[in-house]
Structure 1
Amino acid sequence: MNTVNGSVLRKRKFNPITTALALALVTPGLYVANATAEEVEEKAKKSKMEAITVTATKRSQVIYEVPIAMSAFSGDALDTQGITGISDVGKFVPNLNITGFSAGHTSSANPFIRGIGLQDHLITTDPGVSVYVDGVYLGRQVGQNWNLQNIDRIEVLRGPQGTLYGRNSIGGAINIITKQPGSKPVTKVSAEVGTRGRLKGDVFVNRELSDKVAVNFSAGFNRRDGLGEFINLPEAKYDVGESREMHGRFSLKYDVNDDLKIVVTADANDGEGGLRPYTTKINEVPNGAYYTGERFGSPLPSGPLRNSDVAADPFDNATGTIEVTEVTNSASGVSFTADYNISDTLGSKFIISNRTSEYKAGLDDDATIYALDHYPEHGDADQTSVELQLNGYVGEVDFVSGVYWFTEEGSNRQGEDSSFNGGGNTLELDQKTTSKAVFVNLGYDATDDLRISGGLRYTQDEKEATANVGTGPTFAEDDWSEVSYDLSANYTMDNGLNIYSSIQSGYQGGQFPARPYCLFGDPTCFVASDNITAVNYEIGLKGEVNSDFNMSIALFNTNYDDLPYQVNTTSEAGFDTANLVVSQTSRGIEWESTWYVTDALSLHTSAGYIDVDVDEKDEVKPVAPLTPKFTASVSPSYAFDLEDGSTITTRIDYSFRDEMYGEPSSDEGRMTTVDSRSLVNFDVSYAPAGADWKVSLYGRNVFDKRYDDARLNTGDYLLVIKSNDASEFGVRYTASY
């Protein structure tokens, strides 16, 4: 057994019998009969594929050896795939769907993995899929739609991650790993100009200041025009869907000595723009409040409303409330990481971070010129996290252990800066969360080919929350605790393919109702849900079938208990959101592969299928929201050399997401089905021989598919949240030196 920076590396043997079985089962057309062990080993040496090293289990491992269903993206290849933000990652990972509709903001990202995600952005709701940047958990996503420059790779872990990750990973985790300062001098600049007013520029610089100190920094600007107009507010600063953003990140690495390395990082972003495109469909039924012009027996100021009062073009907006037309976001953070090798077999890691974020957004729910259901909104969050790890190995046993502490204070104010309700707030939320955990994960090499690992984590959460919907502040507090576990076995066959099986549990503390307007009728309704727990059973096969083909396939079954669904209705005071607590079972299959058809032509594919069954609740059969049954992507790439030595590389990326429900109701009368969508990107790059630059022609959503991100039915009206995605064509220039 060899160790490199504390990571365990195992040598693999080759056997033609196991190779034959694996190839016959997986890809019979690619197997060469009567192959000898020497021939198999020679194929491995000639492999065209570079196995990505990941840290999904907080160990450095080749992706094939991780007993988790996961996808990884190289940061340098994101642009060519048409991935410009974290939301785009959701187009190319099986059983992953990322929407962005929170409060009509253009910078939000709501990941759903295997039927679990974030339905509401308010401070009382925690995400079911955790997002991490260099090991730091991001408690809030509005205002932190990361620009994907300075990214080394992105890892998407599917299924509960209950023992190694900080908080709330009951559906999965997304790890963003940035480029660390190093000794190699690098300067990289890129510029992009395209349709829809796209103007984008980025710079990344890495320098070694001495043999012990290195720094890097990145900075950028991104602008894109809108998709519609505020037809009743010509004075609006921005068009519908317009966005402007600036961002920067600085990192310093200090190698104190051979055993101690320190990294200090600071980042910030600032954005503003126009409200996300959406439209409202008024329920024109005899007893509908908008149709009759009355709500709860009181006449509406506008009288009866019809769909003709809403903008005819769903990408225009007919609001008469100037306060909801502009959205803003800002976030900043600092982190300190220290890696210390205590001995040749024992190391430690310390991470402390503070992050703040704030946003302004809000919707005019009725989407008309009348002052009815409009809710300008402000939100902010301040979080601090500390993690101390002790890692190492003894003989054939390696371990990752540690303690974790997280605290967050945040608030939301709805109705502020509005003429509605005399300019006062219609909703005030404040919450303080504290989470503490201790964890240990062990790995044992039973043989050169069989690895067994298991882990335990004890987590304790506390929340203190205050809600005010105009009836006076209501205070509530609660606490939760849970022991999470996982057990997995990973067997490496003689040809290098890995078979794994795992049982993983996940946990998330309960949550308070997001919009508790029920307080008008029930002063005691501001109560948190119970522990949310998940148990996932999974088997998979992954690795290089031969030098031209790699693949991964996973089958899973996940049981969730006490899972809160957010259910929305209109109340006398406003938009009420309550928790419907359910039990859910998700089962399915996932596939990813890369095939080098020739030296010039490669083909990457992904596919996912999920069947979600939710127990009947109060004589209602809920459904998993924002979860397409089928997901798929196909990405061929072809490169060829010209006579002068220059290279042209072409790539097409096709992504499919099946139809899904926008909220936890399958009632056809609520019209919450979101149609399926197929999107196509292309990229054609030209790199001169021996040059340090390249130029690319790109197209994103080339057929201009206009699709819905989500749908919410309150009973009086249906909110149709449109994607801010639209066709875009342009030129990108990149130079590195």
Structure 2
Amino acid sequence: MMHNADQTTKTRQFSLSALSGAIAIATAISSGTAYSAEIEEVVVTAQKRAENLQDVPIAISAFTGDNIKKMGAQNLTDLGKSTPGVEMNNDTALQPTYNIRGIQTSDFTVGSDPAVAVYVDDVYTGRGAGAEVPLADIERVEVLKGPQGTLFGRNATGGAIHIVTKRPLNEDQTEVSLTAGNYGRMSSDVIINRAINDKAAVRLTASTNKRDGYYPNAEDGADWGGQDTQTLRASLSLMPNDDTEILWRAEYSRLDQNGATRASVNENISVGDGTVFSDQAFDTGNHEERDLYATSLKITHDFNDMTLTSITAYRTFESYLLQDEDGTNNPDFYFASANFDDQKFFSQEFRLNGETDSLKWTLGASYSQEELVHDTEAFFTPSTFETFALYTVMKESPEQLAALGVSQGQIDALAAMSDLEVSKQVPGFRELLRNTSIPLAPGLNASGDGLMVANFYGNYLLPSLVENVMQSSPEAQQAFFSNFNCSSQLQTYMGSGDDSQLNACLLLGANAFVQGKEGNWRENVLNTGDYRSAAIYGDATWAVTDRMNLTFGARYTQDDKDFTIDTAYQNELYGIPFGMAFFSGGNPAISQSSSDSWSDLSGRVVLDYQWNDDVMTYASISNGFKAGGFNSLNYGDDIDNSFDQETVVNFEAGIKSNLLDNRMQLNASVYAYEYDNLQELSLIGFPIPSYNLRNADAEGQGAEVEMLFAASDNLLIGGNYSHLKTEYTRYQVIEAAGETAEDDRTGDPRVGTPENKINLMAEYTIGLNSGADIVLRGDYNWTDERVGTISDPSLVVPDYNLLNARVAFNSASDTYTVSAWVQNLTDEEIVGDFGGPGNAIGAETGWRFQPRMFGADFTMRF
């Protein structure tokens, strides 16, 4: 799908018109109304202590549990659409990417860490596959923007997301919620809170969410893109005395669904129209499974003027993700993958907080250990390799096609095409090969399937294999060449040094092997990791004057990592196991162990000034640190398996204000950052493209505005806007993996980062004489276009509009609520993202947002 610039201009004009119209309507409704409403205070713990959101000199977007429910958000990806400067466009819960102000890490293996730290109840989640938890019975979600290295530690270079679940209350409560909607949506939440006595309370939450898929299945069976999750939470609060609280939490989450669906945008191989919105057919079932367990123990003790907090936590999950990577059922493009993850995570943190008349301070120490197992499997057929070899030649060196009788005009045309355009030519060239007889070498001919791969074997794989074999024993040499029926040619080579007959014989054997191969080709890479991290930190806010505060903090972090990589190839080339997807330079298998360590001193300095009781401004400089790591899927003599740590320095200035007698909150910030050694994952390499992590530098500048206005007792309106420009300032080209200077992305924008984003919200309450009320709410989002994939920057994700609406009836006694809702009201066809390993064979894929979804909720409280 190519981007239409005229359409974008029209969409932007429509979006700005919609924004102006919404503000005008809201103003008209509220005019002449007596203003007595106030905006409720939101308490956050962004600085490891409870504070009013408006008093914290950090750019934060906070969502209360009530607001999350009104928005219809089910997970972090849903919240990302409404958060300025944040993108959480994820097609799968098991490989999510969180992007804050253009900073993200896209590595789906365990060789590196995420750039945005996700915490659940003060506990770091570690891996993305364990971060996407259902937002049921949530107190709030805090999104902290910019590096949070001082208080939240490593892996918070982009920011931090903190999910806070509701804690037990000292009263009896029961709440039951049921949801039904289109596409077979059935959900339920049951919350039970009981006060055991005046010193103890317990809270239990059970949540289910099930929905059919919305990708039309062109074959028999269920549609793709469904949901099926169950979550259980339990918490217990004990107060043995007035100064001590013990809070225990536990959670179990089960996910088992046919989501994670990507469709090919190559109309020449898809059963649909080459978009992600038409009927789809796949030759591999898309499936996600995860079992997650988590528990934590938080002990808080108050001394005379200090508070000591201990948080001990353990989290573990096992997950399985099966995906059709080519997004079609075309046998020439068969490509599937399976990823298995097993994580065990332990952490311990001690924190001491204190406060005097002029100083608020925090001292802390933390330790964590993460044990990881990740297995990546790839499934192909020999026909897939033929497509891959042809597509690689068409992209990287189309002049080689002259030997196939391709005209110079066609070769020149290919050289001028984008990767996506080239990929659409593959089926036609496949047909050309099936009907062509081409001389491969003197006295050797081949035709049909296997031509390109036979040449590939002969040119790239066999020389490496022969080189390895020639270093082995004479018996091993004889056995190897006997497999190819090339023993006599070997003797000629050994006697004369002339390898022409030997090479021709090997090539003939390779071609026969390819054409005679049946069934799937399976390869896998197994990674294990043992990661330890220790840190000490301190942070203090000093009241310089009655109006001015100076905050300064620092954290020292030490990360130690042990990592292993093992390859296994379930297929052999005449007795020699080898791989193509996980190319090993001709080595039959790889087994490597690596260890490395990284350390860093991160910190922040913030100056804030309270102009009056309602307006505060701040300026800050902060930096963050993300440990280095290891390439999980690529390796070779010329590629360093370890890569450097990331660092980011952020400069920011902002304002937070409560205006119009606390009826309006208006917050804004401007920022600029420099990012060094950004860990970038991309699919590169010739002749074998594979995933490589390299280091790059980037910079970004942006601005954000958030407004919430209680226009009357009945009307609440809000909105936010974010602007962000990013670019690579240095882009490492891994020449050993086949990149050239043309692959340098210096000056290009970061992937997945829109330049502009607008959100609007309006909520109107109609009071009834009975004491009940009706609440009308609408949420609107416009997101600018963005680069979809680093492998082909010309593939742009178009901008989009998204409108959600909700109407709710609340009973006079607040014992029940009935609501009806619709998401994507105008049924927009929205592309979520492009990219994925399918582009290695010319099957670039993308995924779509949900179509129009509607339903009703019923909640009973007693």
User: Aligned pair in 2 of structure 1 residues 528, 131: CA closer, same or farther (>3 Å)?
Assistant: same
Q: State the 1:365 CA deviation.
A: 2.2
Confirm or deny that 1:331 pairs with 2:315: no
Q: Which amino acid aligns with 2:261?
A: P
Q: Give the Cα separation in 2 of the matches to 1:449 and 1:47.
A: 28
1:354-365 alignment, distance < 5 Å: 354-365=314-325
User: Aligned pair in 2 of structure 1 residues 711, 348: CA closer, same or farther (>3 Å)?
Assistant: same
Q: State the 1:110 CA deviation.
A: 2.0
Aligned length: 655
Q: Which residue in 1 is equivalent to 2:813?
A: 690
Q: Is contact 1:376-1:418 (8 Å) kept?
A: no
Q: Which residue in 1 is equivalent to 2:446?
A: none
Q: State the 1:118 CA deviation.
A: 2.9
Q: State the 1:700 CA deviation.
A: 0.9
Q: State the 1:571 CA deviation.
A: 6.3
Q: State the 1:228 CA deviation.
A: 2.6
Confirm or deny that 1:593 pairs with 2:707: yes
Q: Which residue in 2 is equivalent to 1:296?
A: none
Q: State the 1:206 CA deviation.
A: 1.2
Q: Which residue in 1 is equivalent to 2:769?
A: 643
User: Aligned pair in 2 of structure 1 residues 165, 709: CA closer, same or farther (>3 Å)?
Assistant: same
Deviations along 1:124-169, one digit per CA (max 9) or x if unpaired, are 1311111101100011122542111121111110000010003300
Q: Which of 596, 602, 621 in structure 2 is aligned with 1:484? A: 602
Q: Is contact 1:159-1:536 (8 Å) kept?
A: yes
Q: Is contact 1:644-1:689 (8 Å) kept?
A: yes
Deviations along 1:325-379, one digit per CA (max 9) or x if unpaired, are 32212211111110011x2211110011111112211322223332732212212
Q: Give the Cα separation in 1 of the matches to 2:180 and 2:231.
A: 18
Q: Which residue in 2 is equivalent to 1:247?
A: 231
Confirm or deny that 1:413 pairs with 2:375: yes
Q: Give the Cα separation in 1 of the matches to 2:328 and 2:759.
A: 39
TM-score, structure 1 as length reference: 0.85
Q: Is contact 2:311-2:349 (8 Å) kept?
A: yes
Q: Which amino acid aligns with 2:560?
A: E
User: Aligned pair in 2 of structure 1 residues 187, 526: CA closer, same or farther (>3 Å)?
Assistant: farther
Q: Give the Cα separation in 1 of the matches to 2:685 and 2:270.
A: 21
Q: Which of 439, 444, 447 in structure 1 is aligned with 2:545? A: 447
1:308-327 alignment, distance < 5 Å: 308=270, 314=276, 316-321=279-284, 324-327=285-288
Q: Which residue in 1 is equivalent to 2:352?
A: 390
Q: Which residue in 2 is equivalent to 1:34?
A: none
Q: Which amino acid aligns with 1:115?
A: G
Confirm or deny that 1:152 pairs with 2:136: no
Q: Which residue in 2 is equivalent to 1:32?
A: none
Q: Which residue in 2 is equivalent to 1:375?
A: 337
Deviations along 1:422-467, one digit per CA (max 9) or x if unpaired, are 6754222222211111000011112222111110100011111112
Q: State the 1:275 CA deviation.
A: 3.6
Q: Is contact 1:440-1:457 (8 Å) kept?
A: yes
User: Aligned pair in 2 of structure 1 residues 674, 313: CA closer, same or farther (>3 Å)?
Assistant: closer
The secondary structure found in structure 2 opposite 1:560 is: strand
The secondary structure found in structure 1 opposite 2:643 is: coil
Q: Is contact 2:674-2:700 (8 Å) kept?
A: yes
The secondary structure found in structure 2 opposite 1:199 is: strand
Q: Give the Cα separation in 1 of the matches to 2:537 and 2:622.
A: 14
Q: Which amino acid aligns with 1:392?
A: G
Q: Which residue in 1 is equivalent to 2:254?
A: 270
Q: Is contact 1:565-1:664 (8 Å) kept?
A: no
Q: State the 1:631 CA deviation.
A: 1.3
User: Aligned pair in 2 of structure 1 residues 718, 327: CA closer, same or farther (>3 Å)?
Assistant: same
1:3-152 alignment, distance < 5 Å: 48-101=38-91, 105-106=92-93, 108-152=95-139
Confirm or deny that 1:560 pairs with 2:675: yes
Q: Which amino acid aligns with 1:549?
A: M
Q: Give the Cα separation in 2 of the matches to 1:372 and 1:419.
A: 7
The secondary structure found in structure 2 opposite 1:110 is: coil
Q: Give the Cα separation in 2 of the matches to 1:615 and 1:665.
A: 17
Deviations along 1:640-690, one digit per CA (max 9) or x if unpaired, are 11233321110000012211112335642xx2x111111111110112323
Q: Which of 496, 501, 519 in structure 1 is aligned with 2:619? A: 501
The unaligned stretches of length 5 or more in structure 1 are 1-26, 28-42, 285-305
- Give the alignment's Cα RMSD to 1 decimal: 2.3
Q: Which residue in 1 is equivalent to 2:650?
A: 536
Q: Is contact 1:378-1:416 (8 Å) kept?
A: no
Q: State the 1:84 CA deviation.
A: 1.7
Q: Give the Cα separation in 2 of the matches to 1:725 and 1:120.
A: 25
Q: Which residue in 2 is equivalent to 1:607?
A: 721
User: Aligned pair in 2 of structure 1 residues 444, 81: CA closer, same or farther (>3 Å)?
Assistant: same
The secondary structure found in structure 2 opposite 1:384 is: strand
Q: Which of 804, 813, 823 in structure 2 is aligned with 1:681? A: 804
Confirm or deny that 1:435 pairs with 2:533: yes
Q: Which of 228, 231, 234 in structure 1 is aligned with 2:215? A: 228
The secondary structure found in structure 2 opposite 1:88 is: helix
The secondary structure found in structure 2 opposite 1:456 is: strand
Q: Give the Cα separation in 1 of the matches to 2:313 and 2:381.
A: 39
Q: Give the Cα separation in 1 of the matches to 2:69 and 2:148.
A: 29
Q: State the 1:735 CA deviation.
A: 1.9
Q: Give the Cα separation in 2 of the matches to 1:189 and 1:524.
A: 60
Confirm or deny that 1:701 pairs with 2:662: no
Larger Rg belongs to: 2
1:199-238 alignment, distance < 5 Å: 199-229=186-216, 231=218, 234=220, 238=222
Confirm or deny that 1:722 pairs with 2:847: yes
The secondary structure found in structure 1 opposite 2:77 is: helix
Q: Give the Cα separation in 1 of the matches to 2:629 and 2:217.
A: 36
Q: Which residue in 1 is equivalent to 2:158?
A: 171
Q: Is contact 1:143-1:358 (8 Å) kept?
A: no
Q: Which residue in 1 is equivalent to 2:301?
A: 340
Q: Which of 621, 624, 630 in structure 2 is aligned with 1:512? A: 630
Q: Give the Cα separation in 2 of the matches to 1:629 and 1:693.
A: 42
Moved more, 58-67 or 114-123: 114-123
Q: Which amino acid aligns with 1:349?
A: T
Moved more, 375-384 or 614-623: 614-623
Q: Is contact 1:633-1:655 (8 Å) kept?
A: yes
Q: Which of 313, 323, 330 in structure 2 is aligned with 1:353? A: 313
User: Aligned pair in 2 of structure 1 residues 312, 422: CA closer, same or farther (>3 Å)?
Assistant: closer
The secondary structure found in structure 2 opposite 1:704 is: coil
Q: Is contact 1:192-1:730 (8 Å) kept?
A: yes
The secondary structure found in structure 2 opposite 1:64 is: helix
Higher fraction of helix = 2
Q: Give the Cα separation in 2 of the matches to 1:557 and 1:258.
A: 46
Q: Give the Cα separation in 1 of the matches to 2:334 and 2:82.
A: 40
Q: Give the Cα separation in 2 of the matches to 1:50 and 1:412.
A: 45
Q: Give the Cα separation in 1 of the matches to 2:272 and 2:802.
A: 28
Q: Which residue in 1 is equivalent to 2:514?
A: none
Identity %: 27
Q: Give the Cα separation in 2 of the matches to 1:276 and 1:719.
A: 15
Q: Give the Cα separation in 2 of the matches to 1:201 and 1:412.
A: 33
Q: Give the Cα separation in 2 of the matches to 1:168 and 1:336.
A: 23
Q: Give the Cα separation in 1 of the matches to 2:380 and 2:195.
A: 52
Deviations along 1:27-82, one digit per CA (max 9) or x if unpaired, are 9xxxxxxxxxxxxxxx9xx6611221110010111111111000111102212112
User: Aligned pair in 2 of structure 1 residues 590, 410: CA closer, same or farther (>3 Å)?
Assistant: same
User: Aligned pair in 2 of structure 1 residues 467, 230: CA closer, same or farther (>3 Å)?
Assistant: farther
User: Aligned pair in 2 of structure 1 residues 707, 528: CA closer, same or farther (>3 Å)?
Assistant: farther
Q: Give the Cα separation in 2 of the matches to 1:412 and 1:211.
A: 47
Q: Give the Cα separation in 2 of the matches to 1:424 and 1:314.
A: 27
Q: Which residue in 2 is equivalent to 1:40?
A: none
TM-score, structure 2 as length reference: 0.73
Q: Give the Cα separation in 1 of the matches to 2:522 and 2:346.
A: 31
Moved more, 356-365 or 384-393: 356-365
